[in-house]
Homo-oligomer: A and B are copies of this chain.
Amino acid sequence: MLKKVDLEGATFVEGFPGIGLVGPMSISYMIDKLAMEYVGFIDGSNFPPLISIHKGEPMPPVRLYYAKESKIITIFAEFAMPLDLVYEIVQTVYGFVIKNKIKKIYSIGGLPVNQGTGAQKAVTGVFGVASKKALAVAMQKAGLKPISEGVSTGVSALLLTKSKVDEIDNINLMVAVQPGIVDPAYAESAIVCLNKLMSLDIDVSELDKEAKQVEAKISEIINKHKESHETYKNAVNDSGPSMYA
């Protein structure tokens, strides 16, 4: 935490990179539209050695942003998260939630659905699962379709379990996505629900442009990470057309 902010009673919004990149697209857009302030970052010795450069400034890849007025704290991760970091991140994030007396969590992710074929239409919309039954009305009003039976994975899933035990309000928003597709419409669906859940009025008309940048950035990070593994080998070993060959 670079800046001290009072988060008691604040709302936490998270969405680590996953299927359809719904989380990062939505959160990046929300940060922009609410003019949220960069207030800190998360680091870990098992994180890949990467930094992002934004507007000429070096930034850690997992960052916290805060909107004072609406009391929303969010986490933006430009980061290809390996599965074995899930527990470490959950520990860190949930510890942060508890320590700061945050009382509400919204998680944004994707729910893989099959492509509609022929007469059968593809499943669409935003599904929801909550840590408390009392949140059912709010979910319905926000247009979330309840999931009756199913399975959920990753950071959001584990935060939900912990929230349930500690009686923290937590709703997982799962946007129906088709595997292999990254579409700003996914983020639009999520933002529309967030608007209702948090009484916000985020305009979604510029999502297309923003989403494109997020996708490009995360693709670059993943490629950079791969590259840094291979860089040395390429540079020296198979140095091919060396100046001295």
**What is the 8 Å Cβ interface bit string for chain A, positions 141-178, against chain B (1 contact, 0 not)?**
00000111111111101101100110000001000000
| Cα distance, A87 to B53, chains bound together (Å) | 20
Interface size range on A against B:
35 or more
- Given known contacts A51-B158, A58-B164, A131-B58, A242 and B150 CB-to-CB distance under 8 angstroms: no
Within the complex, which residue of B155, B157, B217 is in contact with A149, where a contact is CB–CB below 8 Å?
Answer: B217
Pick the interface stretch among A6-14, A116-124, A224-232: A224-232
> Is the pair B55, A149 in contact by a Cβ cutoff of 8 Å?
yes
Residues of B within 8 A of A53 (CB): 129, 147-152
Query: For residue A160, which residues in chain B have a CB less than 8 angstroms away from its CB?
Result: 51, 58
Are the CB atoms of A129 and B58 closer together than 8 Å? Answer: yes
A239 is contacted by which of B17, B57, B180, B238 (Cβ under 8 Å)? B180
Contacts of A51 in B (CB 8 A): 151-153, 157-158, 160-161
- Please report the C-alpha to C-alpha distance between residue A157 and residue B49 in the assembled complex, in whole angstroms: 7
Q: Is A99 an interface residue (CB 8 A)?
A: no
Which listed residue, B52, B59, B90, B157, touches A58 by the CB 8 Å rule? B157
A131 to B60 CA separation, bound complex (whole angstroms)? 12
0 or 1 for each of A97-137: is its CB under 8 Å from B? (1 = yes): 00000000000001010000000000000000111010010
A232 / chain B contacts, CB cutoff of 8 Å: 17-19, 80-81
A243 to B209, CA, bound (A): 11
In residues 61-83 of chain A, which contact B (Cβ within 8 Å)? 78, 80-81, 83
* In the bound complex, CA of A21 to CA of B234 (Å): 10
Is B17 in contact with A60, judged by CB distance below 8 angstroms? no
Considering the complex, give the chain B residue whose CB is closest to the CB of A47.
Answer: B87
24 A-B Cβ contacts within 8 A?
A17-B232, A19-B227, A49-B158, A50-B153, A50-B157, A51-B157, A52-B150, A53-B150, A56-B146, A58-B130, A58-B131, A58-B161, A80-B232, A150-B220, A151-B224, A153-B227, A180-B239, A182-B243, A182-B244, A183-B243, A211-B243, A215-B244, A218-B236, A219-B239
Nearest first, the 7 A-B pairs at minimum CB distance are: A153-B228, A51-B157, A53-B150, A49-B86, A19-B231, A151-B224, A58-B160
